[in-house]
Amino acid sequence: MSESEIVIVGAGPTGLALSLALARFGVPSLVLDNTDGDVTVRAARSCVLRPDTASWVGALTAPHASVPAAGWTRWSTRRRRQLVHEVELTDETTPLHVEQHALERGLRDALARERLAHVVTRSHVDIIEQDATGVTAHTRPRGSAGPGGPVGTAAGEDDGGDGAAVNGTGTDGGYRSGTYGTGAYGSAAHGSGMSGSGAHGSGADAARAVPAVAGERGRTGARNTGGRGGTWWRGSYLVGCDGARSTVRKLLGVRFAGRTAVERHAVAALRAELPWDEQALLHRELGAGSGAGRKGGVGGVQTEVTARPLPDGMWRLDWLLPPRGELVTPEALLERIHATLGHWYEGDEGSHGGDRAGGAGGGGVDGGVDGGAYELLDTGVYTAHQRLARRWRVERTFLAGDAAHLVGALGVQSVDEGLRDAANLAWKLALAWHEANGVRGPRVDRDALDVLLDSYESERRGAVGARLRAVDQALPLVRRDGSGLRSLLPGGGARTPLELLTDGHLGRGLLGAPAAYRRTPLTPARDAVETIPVDTPSGAPVEDVPVIALDGERGRLRGQLCASGAELLVLLVAPGTAVWDSRHWLSAGMMPELAAAVDSLPLNATLLVTENYPGAAPHTVLVIRPDGHLVAALPGPRSAHLHACAHAIRGGTLPQNLPATRGEG
């Protein structure tokens, strides 16, 4: 089998998205899926995607699949009967609420039509071996006997998902136990490890990884390991996306430190007409009748419930529970549902009437309260942990998603963070793959490849670690009367506890905003480029402005990040272009000079034009990474500066004797 594959272990959202993203860059991948390939439908298992992540997923799945999602027009925060905080949301600013099974199904449907990706189901990894040219993984069919006994389905193999049911009712109505959660922090002891790729073919024509005949073992072979045997798979790199109980992480011996049971929530998914159409709500202190009453409070907060719309008239409701409380029975959860809906419908804290639903779980139970009927679709309880893997790269093997971090407290963006891992890692692996294949400009040395691949850990682990530390510092403030603690939270002194909670749920501010990689090693040296200020700092995600391609096609910048398959985007700010036909300005002014400079770059670069960009002067040139983070803002089309940026994101330095453009000395 070919060594040019990138092997991905785990077929949850992170693994599936990574495989699709690699295919956009012309890189083949093999996904080893521990499941049967069927998507488990759990309405109470959902995730919230920030707008830029949702756009990236949409570009990945188009045109063959789509993911149903619900946006919100408003986020409201209430205490007792009072509206205390409200945020208006637009199509551009609203996060999207997605059922995780719908997300996985959309990604799988798109992947099934992708010829550069291949999924092998019922494959459990039990051995990983690395050398200077690649990674070899051994799999056994799920359920077969291995060195440690029969292989089953590892919990968390499928990326877990925000609000995964734990100690909750499954679709069969049965109770089950387990844990679900989040990440850990602190600096990693980091070594560069090996880098580079093995034998390669053309990105479009590279052979898929296929098992060799059992009994043979060589560079491309397999061997029978006894019992029911197994299969050896080899690729240039391997990425563990196999969930919170990651087998890959354990085989690498990477620690997964952090805190256990940071938060616990009871969850219900139901279909109903609530008083807040297309609005999300956080409601505190509904009253003693709302569920567990005052005994259900945490640190003086009597009750807290969050309601978020889902597609097709569905809602997800989350009740905050004591972190280490008793098991929540179906009867107790139904009591919470009736008390909460009764309060919302009638304004009576203790009222609940109508027919009492006689059970819990994913069976589509009908129920009612005074003021409205509802259909109970699914219930569960999940426990949020905070954990962070000590290392995210070990030689040619990487960790991503829940295998690398658990981040479920103060918001439901665990899946979003995993997708950001995939977006960050995909283009770097693709660059390394193409560099080693000799199809992208001048070759770079191993040290440069190490800088490129190590930047995944330094950027993403640093970003997730910062978020986990912020959540740890914010929890005493938002869960108690923490006014005296506010000064301890960096940047949080001006935010009230409820505003901080809102930030976490909406994916913004100190507790939720996308990370800016300000200390990335992939930044050009200050003496190599002249930069100018714009509203987006270097290393931060760019704004989603309208853009025009050179063929005249119009769209949004975020959609181009994935759809184009470009390894670098160059955006020219040119007022007036929005109203002119592209045929008129393609050959005017600085466009020919800039187009020639972009064509000469050692990367597959795409040139786009926008009417304006926040804080940018006319003729500013923005250099943008494939994951949407700004490399630099340049004062015009200077070829040497563009080359410096291109070489920096490859992990290298600027070669000498590059071509200059007019006005460069």
pLDDT of residue 223: 36
Instruction: Give the tokens for residue 374.
Output: 């509802």
pLDDT of residue 409: 78
Average pLDDT over every residue of 504-509: 88
- Quickly count: other Cβ atoms within 10 Å of residue 373's Cβ: 14
Q: Which of 602-606, 613-617, 660-664 is the most confident on average? A: 613-617
Q: Residue 138 in contact with residue 231, Cβ under 8 Å? A: yes
Q: Residue 405 in contact with residue 464, Cβ under 8 Å? A: yes
Q: How many residues does the chain have?
A: 665
At 26, give phi and psi (nearest 5°).
Answer: 80, 25
- Give the whole-angstrom CA distance, residue 336 versus residue 372: 16
Query: The dihedral of CA 414, 416, 421, 426: what is its sign?
Result: positive
Displacement of CA 199 from its chain's centroid (Å): 30
Strand stretches in 143-217, DSSP E: 145-146, 149-150
- All structural domains of the chain, each given as residue ranges with its CATH number in brackets, are 6-64+100-146+174-256+385-445 (3.50.50.60), 516-665 (3.40.30.120)
**In the block, which residue shows the tokens 């039509």?**
113
Q: What is the pLDDT of residues 202-261, one digit of tens each?
A: 333 333 333 333 333 333 333 334 345 799 999 999 999 999 999 999 999 999 999 888
Is residue 621's pLDDT more than 90? Answer: yes
* Residue 514 Rama label (left phi>0; alpha psi -120 to 50; beta): beta
Q: Please state, rounded to an integer, the average pLDDT across all residues of the chain.
A: 79
Burial class (CB in 10 A: 0-12, 13-18, 19+), 358: exposed
Q: Residue 153 in contact with residue 34, Cβ under 8 Å? A: yes
Amino acid occupying residue 139: T
Mark out the alpha helices in 347-445 (DSSP H runs).
Answer: 414-437
- Give the whole-angstrom CA distance, residue 557 versus residue 208: 32
- Give the whole-angstrom CA distance, residue 128 versus residue 136: 6
**In the block, which residue shows the tokens 């609530």?**
274
Closest CA to 625 of 569, 573, 545, 549: 569
Q: Which residues contact 25 (CB under 8 A, 6 or more apart)?
A: 203, 426, 427, 430, 433, 434, 565, 567, 626
pLDDT of residue 510: 82
pLDDT of residue 441: 55
Average pLDDT over every residue of 191-199: 32
Helix H or strand E segment including 57? helix 51-61
pLDDT interval class at 163 (50, 70, 90):
very low
Is residue 343's pLDDT more than 70? Answer: yes
Number of H helices, E strands in the chain: 14, 29
Q: Residue 384 in contact with residue 182, Cβ under 8 Å? A: yes
Burial class (CB in 10 A: 0-12, 13-18, 19+), 586: middle
Helix H or strand E segment including 265? strand 256-272
Amino acid occupying residue 204: A
Average pLDDT over every residue of 14-42: 95
Strand stretches in 163-223, DSSP E: none
Q: Which residues contact 526 (CB under 8 A, 6 or more apart)?
A: none
Q: What is the pLDDT of residues 79-116, one digit of tens each?
A: 888 899 899 999 989 999 999 999 999 999 999 999 99
pLDDT of residue 347: 59
pLDDT of residue 366: 58
Say which residue, 509 or 463, is predicted with more confidence.
Answer: 463
Q: What is the pLDDT of residues 289-300, one digit of tens each?
A: 444 444 444 333
pLDDT of residue 491: 52
The DSSP output letter for 298 is B
**In the block, which residue shows the tokens 């992708």?**
114
Instruction: Give the tokens for residue 59.
Output: 């570009």
Average pLDDT over every residue of 644-649: 94
Q: Peptide bond before 63: cis, by omega within 30 degrees of 0?
A: yes
Is residue 262's pLDDT more than 50? Answer: yes
Is residue 193's pLDDT more than 80? Answer: no
Helix H or strand E segment including 470? helix 462-479
- Quickly count: other Cβ atoms within 10 Å of residue 118's Cβ: 17
Closest CA to 635 of 544, 523, 533: 533
Strands 304-310 and 314-321: what pairing? antiparallel
Q: Which residues contact 115 (CB under 8 A, 6 or more apart)?
A: none
Apex 556 CA angle, 616 and 602, nearest 5: 75
Q: What is the pLDDT of residues 382-432, one digit of tens each?
A: 888 999 999 999 999 999 999 999 997 787 788 999 999 999 999 999 999
Query: The dihedral of CA 262, 9, 437, 216: what is its sign?
Result: positive
- Compute, in degrees rounded to 10, the torsion defined by CA atoms 384, 394, 219, 215: -40
pLDDT of residue 370: 57
Closest CA to 212 of 196, 226, 185, 230: 230
What global pTM score does this model have?
0.84
Q: What is the pLDDT of residues 540-586, one digit of tens each?
A: 999 999 999 888 888 999 988 877 788 999 999 999 877 676 666 77
Is residue 348's pLDDT more than 50? Answer: no
**In the block, which residue shows the tokens 């569905």?**
314
Instruction: Give the tokens for residue 57.
Output: 């997923």
Instruction: Give the tokens for residue 215.
Output: 């009994």
Q: Which residues contact 294 (CB under 8 A, 6 or more apart)?
A: 288, 302
Closest CA to 239 of 564, 433, 492, 19: 19
